[in-house]
């Protein structure tokens, strides 16, 4: 869905786009030495380890190198777990600590944050028992990084501070600079700009002193983003350009592309659109040249936003489609790799079966030559084998049919039935305009505050409880769920085929949603007692399927943006509707006029609270 760009520049530089390469700064910067190890050397070490002709100490040493330097996350996890196992077997505490640390790194990279934190904490406990202060400092950075990725910023800052205190006493400049840089980055996320500035400047001084150009470049990049928030755009641009110069010498093209996009945002917000386009195109060309798909996606998104600001909607839509295409291709890379592994395993097993059958045939021929009587036994075995093969084929066909049906059901869960049929028939879905569609947005008040205190399992359980019931309500009213983003729930009525009374159906569904959330507080004490806000708007939209590999049915247009504003201006437990929706439903629902309210990027809009259905009070 194409959203209107935010006018406030400070809202643009959010934490998420840079989190993948900045918050994990410690692991990026301390792994530079590991990157110098060639893949050939790693393969040689792996073959040497697999030879099994090694003394315990040699085996542990090789496993340590493989666990630290492997760039393949799955291999890194496998080697680190093997290092933990062997170190435990030979009672080697130092290697056990190293194995737990690298296991934590691997799990963090795979997104398994709970297990990563457990591994780091287990290693830290062993280090404290051994009184290894330098190692404890590095482990505290790892723990802090996990907390930061999880969004538990208070714990992250606490562990960063503890790590810095330890590292100052042991004069570990490299790790201390990494801790300062990451803590500064966490402060950026918390919008504590002064604290972020202090940490980042000190990190930059240390990196310059120890002549770490990559660390200096990342520090400058973060400083540039901080100065944007402090309102000094010129200084921000100058510092980020200096970071780009350092990174070009180091051939670090990914962060260069990121910074170019951020500078483009500065010019966009200052309405210097040609300069913004120049920087965004420069980022796009660099990302394409070096195969940086994530940044190709981001650069396309920047270009779409700039062209939208310029009023060139055709160009904006074209670049937005490119953004979605690259974004979806990134999400599919992991699935493609897994499918490739499965195919390889299948081919190997198929060859082995062929070899086994050939050997069996040779043995059968020898048996026939020895005695004809055994031929009868072999014939019986063959009949039995054919029967088993027939049975196997039948069961396999049943499995294939079940999987086909699962795929069909999955597609119907992603797309409306009619849209899915069009996609299967034509290989694509034609975008359609709808003159009258009602769009609903709903989210939970204080969700971020609750999420910081909840375990991941409890958070998912609570959100799934509510959203599952919302899905049932939408299905009963004949409405289409569009998508969920975090705690936000979006649905629409009047598509994929135009319908009558879609606004009435949407308000009826909204009342049920609000009533369900209220009653669930008492009926389900084990879940968090969320309060919900609902916003509804009616108007024209464009709907269709975006992406070429991972399909998503979406809607966009000014109607969607206004619906989102209705939700953000609503109150807990209330349904806030626009004037357009009110005119359609006022004959069936009791509504309270709220007056004209100033809406960001929209000016003054009339809004109404839905109180109840007229039939209940007649």
| Residue that terminates a domain, selected from 414, 444, 475 | 414
b (16+ CB within 10 A) / e for 369-406: eeeeeeeeeeeeeeeeeeeeeeeeeeeeeeeeeeeeee
Per residue in 417-434, pLDDT (tens digit) is 555 555 555 555 667 889
Residue with tokens 């108007």: 539
In the chain, helix, strand, coil percent, each to 5?
A: 70, 10, 20
Residue 443: strand pairing partners: 533
292 C-beta neighbours (distance < 10 Å), count: 21
Residue 409 clears pLDDT 60, i.e. is over it: no
pLDDT at 424: 57
DSSP character string of 504-526:
HHHHHHHHHHHHHHHHHHHH-TT
CA angle 371, 375, 379 (to 5 degrees): 170
CA separation (Å) from 505 to 473, 491, 581? 10, 12, 12
Q: Bridge partners of 481?
A: 491
- Tokens 């666990």, located at residue: 67
Percent above pLDDT 90 for the chain: 19
Tens digits of per-residue pLDDT, 55-76? 778 778 888 888 788 778 888 8
User: Of 17-26, 86-95, 173-182, 569-578, which range is least confident?
Assistant: 17-26
Q: How is 373-420 classified by DSSP, letter by letter? A: HHHHHHHHHHHHHHHHHHHHHHHHHHHHHHHHHHHHHHHHHHS-HHHH
CA 422/CA 428 separation, integer angstroms: 7
The answer, yes or no, to whether residue 53 has pLDDT greater than 70, is no
Give yes or no for a contact between 545 and 426, defined as CB atoms under 8 angstroms apart. no
Count the Cβ atoms, other than its own, within 10 Å of residue 453.
10
d(CA 179, CA 185): 10
Q: Mean of the pLDDT values across residues 513-541?
A: 85
Contact 579, 566 (CB under 8 A): no
Q: Are residues 410 and 439 in the same domain?
A: no
The per-residue pLDDT of the chain, averaged, comes to 79
Model confidence pLDDT, tens digit, residues 391-401 = 777 777 777 76
Any domain includes 213: no
Q: Assess whether 530 and 470 both reside in one domain.
A: yes
Asked if residue 345 and residue 468 are part of one domain, the reply reads no
Count up the domains in the chain and report the number: 2
Rounded Cα distance between 417 and 221, Å, is 47
Q: Are strands 532-546 and 575-578 parallel, antiparallel or unpaired?
A: parallel
- Copy the structure tokens of residue 307: 């062209």
Neighbours of 13 (CB within 10 A): 18
Selection from 159, 182, 181, 174 nearest residue 210 by Cα: 174
**Would you state the pLDDT for residue 570?**
92
On whether residue 298 sits in a domain, the answer given is no
Look at residue 350 and tell me if it is in a domain: yes
SS3 144: helix
At 559, the pLDDT band (50, 70, 90 cuts) reads very high
- Please name every residue paired with 408 in a beta bridge, in sequence order, or none if there are none: none
Asked if residue 505 and residue 407 are part of one domain, the reply reads: no
pLDDT for 511 beyond 90: yes
More confident residue, 184 or 552: 184
**What gap in Å lies between CA 610 and CA 570, rounded to an integer?**
11
With contact defined as beta carbons under 8 Å apart, do 61 and 99 qualify? Answer: no
**Reported confidence tier of residue 343, pLDDT bands at 50, 70, 90:** very low
Provide the pLDDT confidence category of residue 2 given band limits of 50, 70 and 90.
Answer: very low
Token readout for 167 is: 């590292």
Strands 589-599 and 603-613: antiparallel
What is the value of pTM for the model shown? 0.45
Give domain status of residue 587, yes or no.
Answer: yes
Residue 395's domain comprises 335-414
Q: Are 25 and 174 in contact (CB under 8 A)?
A: no
| Last residue within a domain, chosen from 349, 383, 414 | 414
What percentage of residues in the chain have a pLDDT greater than 70? Answer: 78
Single residue among 414, 447, 469 that ends a domain in this structure: 414
In a domain, 488, yes or no: yes
- Regarding whether 584 and 436 lie in a shared domain, the answer is yes
State the Cα–Cα distance between residues 21 and 15, nearest whole angstrom. Answer: 11
State how far the Cα of 565 lies from the Cα of 561, in Å rounded to an integer: 6
Do residues 406 and 546 both lie within one domain?
no
Q: Which two tokens stand for residue 504?
A: 């009435």
Most confident of 38-52, 94-108, 561-575: 561-575
554 shares a domain with 520 = yes
Q: What is the 3-state secondary structure (H, E, C) of 583-596?
A: HHHCCCEEEEEEEE
Q: What is the domain-level CATH number for residue 464?
A: 3.30.70.1230
> Exposed, middle or buried, 291 (CB in 10 Å: 0-12/13-18/19+)?
exposed
Q: What is the 3-state secondary structure (H, E, C) of 424-451?
A: HHHCCCCCEEEEEEEEEEEEECCHHHHH
Is 503 a domain residue? yes
Domain identity same for 410 and 459: no
Co-location of 464 and 599 in the same domain: yes
Distance CA 242, CA 220 (A): 7
Q: How many CA atoms lie within 13 A of 578 on its CB side?
A: 28
Q: Does residue 455 share a domain with residue 398?
A: no
Does any domain span residue 119? no
**Same domain, yes or no: 445 and 576:** yes
- Contact between 474 and 510 (Cβ < 8 Å): no
Confidence band for 582, pLDDT divided at 50, 70 and 90: very high
pLDDT per residue as tens digits for the range 433-482: 899 999 999 998 878 777 777 787 888 888 888 889 999 999 999 999 98
| b/e code 63-81 from CB counts within 10 Å (16+ = b) | bbbbbbbbeeeeebbbbbb
Would 388 be classed as within a structural domain?
yes
Residue 567 has pLDDT above 80, yes or no: yes
- Co-location of 391 and 487 in the same domain: no
User: What's the pLDDT score for residue 187?
Assistant: 92
């Amino acid at each position: 869905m194409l959203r209107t760009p935010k006018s406030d520049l400070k809202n643009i530089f959010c934490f998420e786009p840079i989190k993948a390469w900045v918050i994990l700064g410690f692991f990026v910067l301390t792994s530079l030495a590991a990157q110098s190890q060639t893949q050939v050397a790693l393969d040689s070490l792996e073959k040497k380890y697999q030879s099994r002709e090694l003394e315990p100490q040699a085996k542990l040493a090789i496993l340590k190198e493989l666990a630290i330097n492997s760039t393949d996350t799955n291999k890194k996890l496998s080697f680190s777990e093997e290092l933990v196992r062997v170190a435990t077997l030979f009672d080697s505490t130092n290697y056990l600590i190293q194995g737990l640390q690298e296991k934590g790194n691997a799990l963090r990279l795979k997104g398994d944050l709970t297990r990563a934190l457990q591994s780091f904490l287990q290693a830290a406990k062993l280090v404290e028992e051994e009184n290894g202060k330098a190692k404890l400092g590095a482990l505290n950075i790892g723990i802090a990084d996990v907390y930061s990725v999880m969004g538990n910023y208070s714990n992250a800052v606490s562990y960063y501070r503890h790590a810095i205190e330890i590292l100052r006493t042991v004069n570990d400049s490299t790790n201390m600079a990494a801790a300062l840089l990451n803590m500064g980055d966490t402060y950026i996320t918390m919008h504590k700009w002064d604290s972020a500035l202090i940490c980042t400047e000190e990190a930059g001084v240390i990196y310059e002193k120890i002549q770490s150009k990559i660390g200096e470049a990342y520090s400058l990049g973060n400083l540039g983003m901080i100065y944007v928030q402090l309102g000094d755009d010129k200084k921000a641009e100058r510092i980020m350009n200096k970071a780009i110069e350092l990174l070009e010498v180091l051939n670090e093209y990914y962060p260069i592309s990121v910074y170019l996009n951020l500078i483009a945002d500065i010019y966009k917000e200052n309405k210097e659109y040609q300069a913004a386009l120049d920087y965004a195109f420069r980022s796009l060309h660099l990302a394409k040249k070096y195969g940086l798909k994530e940044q190709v996606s981001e650069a396309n998104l920047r270009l779409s936003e700039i062209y939208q600001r310029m009023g060139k909607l055709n160009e904006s839509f074209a670049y937005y489609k490119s953004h979605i295409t690259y974004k979806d291709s990134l999400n599919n890379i992991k699935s493609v790799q897994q499918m490739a592994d499965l195919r390889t395993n299948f081919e190997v097993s198929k060859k082995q079966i062929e070899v086994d059958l050939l050997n069996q045939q040779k043995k059968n021929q020898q048996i026939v030559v020895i005695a004809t009587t055994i031929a009868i036994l072999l014939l019986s075995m063959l009949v039995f084998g054919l029967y088993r093969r027939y049975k196997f084929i039948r069961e396999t066909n049943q499995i294939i049919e079940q999987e086909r049906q699962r795929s069909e059901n999955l597609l119907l869960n992603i797309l409306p039935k009619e849209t899915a049929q069009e996609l299967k028939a034509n290989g694509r879905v034609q975008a359609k305009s709808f003159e009258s569609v009602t769009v609903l947005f709903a989210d939970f008040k204080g969700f971020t505050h609750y999420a910081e205190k909840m375990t991941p399992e409890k958070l998912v359980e609570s959100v799934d409880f509510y959203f599952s019931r919302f899905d049932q309500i939408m299905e009963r009213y004949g409405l289409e769920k569009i998508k969920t983003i975090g705690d936000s729930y979006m649905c629409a009525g009047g598509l994929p085929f135009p319908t009558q009374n879609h606004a009435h159906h949407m308000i009826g569904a909204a009342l049920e949603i609000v009533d369900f959330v209220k009653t669930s507080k008492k009926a389900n004490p084990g879940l968090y007692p969320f309060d919900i806000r609902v916003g509804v708007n009616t108007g024209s939209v464009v709907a269709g399927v975006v992406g070429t590999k991972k399909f998503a049915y979406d809607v966009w247009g000014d109607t969607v943006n206004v619906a989102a504003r209705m939700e953000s201006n609503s109150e807990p437990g209330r349904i806030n509707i626009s004037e357009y929706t009110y005119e359609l439903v006022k004959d069936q629902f009791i509504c309270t006029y709220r007056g004209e309210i100033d809406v960001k990027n929209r000016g003054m809009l009339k809004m109404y609270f839905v109180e109840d259905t007229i039939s209940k009070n007649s």
